[in-house]
Amino acid sequence: MLAQKDISTLFFLGIGGIGMSGLARYFSRQRKADGTARYRVCGYDRTPSELTKELEKEGIVVIYDDRIDDCRLKIEDLKPSDTLVVRTPAVPEDNTIYTYLRKQGFDIRKRAEVLGMVTREKKALCVAGTHGKTTTSTMIAHLLKDVNAFLGGISLNYNTNVLIEPQSEFVVVEADEYDRSFYHLTPYISVVTAVDPDHLDIYGTPEAYRDAFAHYTSLITGALVMKKGLELQPRLQPGVKLYTYSMDNAENIRVRDGQIIFDYVSPLATIRDIELGVPVWVNIENAVAAITVALLTGVSEAQIKQQVASFKGVWRRFNIHVNTPKVAFIDDYAHHPQEIATAIDSIRKIYPERKLICVFQPHLYTRTRDFADGFKAVLGTLDECILLPIYPAREEPIPGVTSEMLGGTVVQKADLIAELKRRVAESKEPVVVLTVGAGDIDRLVPDVAQALNV
């Protein structure tokens, strides 16, 4: 990679993606000591979008034509000696601009590598783990306030996945294990929430998956905050401190009038009567991890209490869209057996007397195949289960791998609303409808909410 001191221009191939646009905005707001822009930021995307329009409003030049002689940005004027190219795999190999930049010898890097550059110039507070990364990292950013953050979901407090505060010494980063992306990071403090095997299409075996996390811990420079009891042997550098956390750090838990209140107790501090802004059982543990990181970075106990109470959560992380005496409707991003089990457990605690109807859209043929037994077991704990066809994402179909493998009733998306309305109407008891999955099931959420909010 080009030395950071030599970079004056960043060109983003696929700048309209949610992750890429956030990184572009971060670099565009960096300033030199005299207040002038530190970098020239520009990029290409195939089609205009709300995100690219926002970038253009901020002064970032975006082109939508892959002809290299585009009149608004002369690609030939970019120089390999001072231009870093950031690329998303969504841009195809035969894209004209990408082909030109490769032939001209430009330094072309993945988003994860460039995000790693950010973590080397700021104190990076990273959250890694199979589950809970997005909620925990978003909560950490909210507790610190006025901080840089690159999050894996849309914060409902800020309606964005990226926070930019150039004066802050900290950056909060969701550390993604997919394709070993988190190897590029330099965490100052990192949380590790879980190491339940996933992405076996990349790692091959559960042992290789956990070994990747062990290597990741060797990159930490300050402290590791690790969930107690994980099947993980950290490889910490000399001087890096280890803190463990669990539900045991939340004492005197009270559930009343739809709220959850608890006391945080650890060697770092005791904070009484913390009100959980998003009253979901699993968020107690996420809050414990986030509070621990906040304390390690010097956040006051008063600010922690205030910010935990005002935390609104993350889009598609246990969002309650309908809550009436007859029916509650909750949507969640869960797409791994353990994540679904956690969502079910939270619902059983909040609505112990209600029937639970779950709609699950499996994500990826390989994940469905590799964890079929786990999915079948957890879905079998439901009162009723509806399955949508597998969402393929980047994959081609695998013979014999279908939603039917998991039990339950398989319906097409077009028939889901009618199926749910029928089941709710026929139920003799109040129900909770839960939709889960990482595919495009979220597009059905508004229609489901409208149909059930009666």
Which CATH number fits the domain that encloses residue 416?
3.90.190.20
CB-based burial of residue 134 (10 Å sphere; 0-12 exposed, 13-18 middle, 19+ buried)?
A: buried
pLDDT of residue 28 exceeding 60, the answer is yes
| Predicted pLDDT at 406 | 93
Tell me the per-residue pLDDT of 213-271, one tens digit each, with 9 for 90 and over.
Answer: 999 999 999 999 999 999 999 999 999 999 999 999 999 999 876 689 999 999 999 99
Q: Residue 409's beta-bridge partner residues? A: 386
Structure confidence at residue 70 as a pLDDT band (50, 70, 90): low
Tell me the per-residue pLDDT of 309-323, one tens digit each, with 9 for 90 and over.
Answer: 999 988 877 888 999
Tell me the per-residue pLDDT of 294-311, one tens digit each, with 9 for 90 and over.
Answer: 999 999 999 999 999 999
pLDDT of residue 71 exceeding 60, the answer is no
E-strand spans in 24-68? 40-44, 61-63
- Which residue range forms the structural domain that includes residue 399? 319-452
> Is 281 found in the same domain as 323?
no
Distance CA 275, CA 284 (A): 10
Which CATH number fits the domain that encloses residue 225?
3.40.1190.10
pLDDT of residue 124 exceeding 90, the answer is yes
| Domain end point (choices 310, 332, 350) | 310
Phi-psi region of 146 (alpha: psi -120 to 50; beta: other; left: phi over 0): left
| Predicted pLDDT at 69 | 65
Residue 193 counted as domain residue? yes
Q: Which amino acid is at 72?
A: R
> Is 281 found in the same domain as 180?
yes
Tell me the per-residue pLDDT of 154-193, one tens digit each, with 9 for 90 and over.
Answer: 898 998 889 999 899 999 999 989 889 999 999 999 999 9
Which of 13-22, 259-268, 269-278 shows the lowest mean pLDDT across its residues? 13-22
| Predicted pLDDT at 279 | 82
Which distant-in-sequence residues (6+ apart) come within 8 Å of 230 by Cβ? Answer: 192, 194, 195
Residue 117 counted as domain residue? no
Structure confidence at residue 60 as a pLDDT band (50, 70, 90): very high
Question: Edge-to-edge, what's the strand order for the sheet holding 384-387?
Answer: 319-323, 327-332, 431-436, 355-360, 384-387, 409-410
Query: What is the SS3 assignment for 237?
Result: coil
> Is 77 found in the same domain as 149?
no
- How many CB atoms within 10 Å of residue 32? 9
Structure confidence at residue 72 as a pLDDT band (50, 70, 90): low
Element of type H or E holding 150: strand 148-155
> Is 285 found in the same domain as 351?
no
Task: Report which DSSP code applies to 31.
Answer: B
pLDDT of residue 96 exceeding 80, the answer is yes
pLDDT of residue 127 exceeding 60, the answer is yes
| Predicted pLDDT at 241 | 98
| Predicted pLDDT at 373 | 94
> Is 403 found in the same domain as 382?
yes
Which CATH number fits the domain that encloses residue 16?
3.40.50.720
| Predicted pLDDT at 160 | 87
pLDDT of residue 417 exceeding 60, the answer is yes
> How many percent of the chain have pLDDT more than 90?
73
> Is 329 found in the same domain as 287?
no
CB-based burial of residue 381 (10 Å sphere; 0-12 exposed, 13-18 middle, 19+ buried)?
A: middle
> Is 333 found in the same domain as 306?
no
Residue 116 counted as domain residue? no
Distance CA 408, CA 388 (A): 10
Cα–Cα distances in angstroms (integers) from residue 299 to residues 168, 302, 306, 314, 338, in the given order:
13, 8, 11, 22, 32
> Is 183 found in the same domain as 230?
yes
DSSP conformation letters of 63-130 = E----TT-TTS-GGG--TTTEEEEE-TTS-TT-HHHHHHHHTT-EEEEHHHHHHHHHHHSEEEEEESS
Query: What is the SS3 assignment for 30?
Result: coil
Distance CA 352, CA 222 (A): 42
| Domain end point (choices 79, 109, 139) | 109
Residue 174 counted as domain residue? yes
**Number of domains within the chain:** 3
> Is 266 found in the same domain as 335?
no
Q: Residue 37's beta-bridge partner residues? A: 31
pLDDT of residue 411 exceeding 70, the answer is yes
> Is 331 found in the same domain as 301?
no
> Is 181 found in the same domain as 84?
no
Structure confidence at residue 355 as a pLDDT band (50, 70, 90): very high
Residue 44 counted as domain residue? yes
pLDDT of residue 77 exceeding 90, the answer is no
| Predicted pLDDT at 201 | 83
pLDDT of residue 393 exceeding 90, the answer is no
Residue 115 counted as domain residue? no
Residue 297 counted as domain residue? yes
Mean pLDDT of the chain: 92
Residue 253 counted as domain residue? yes
Which distant-in-sequence residues (6+ apart) come within 8 Å of 427 by Cβ? Answer: 355
| Domain end point (choices 310, 330, 355) | 310
Cα–Cα distances in angstroms (integers) from residue 288 to residues 260, 282, 308, in the given order:
13, 10, 10
Using alpha carbons only, what angle is made at residue 215 by residues 210 and 221, rounded to the nearest 5 degrees? 130
- How many CB atoms within 10 Å of residue 251? 12
> Is 230 found in the same domain as 323?
no
Which of 69-78, 193-202, 244-253 shows the lowest mean pLDDT across its residues? 69-78
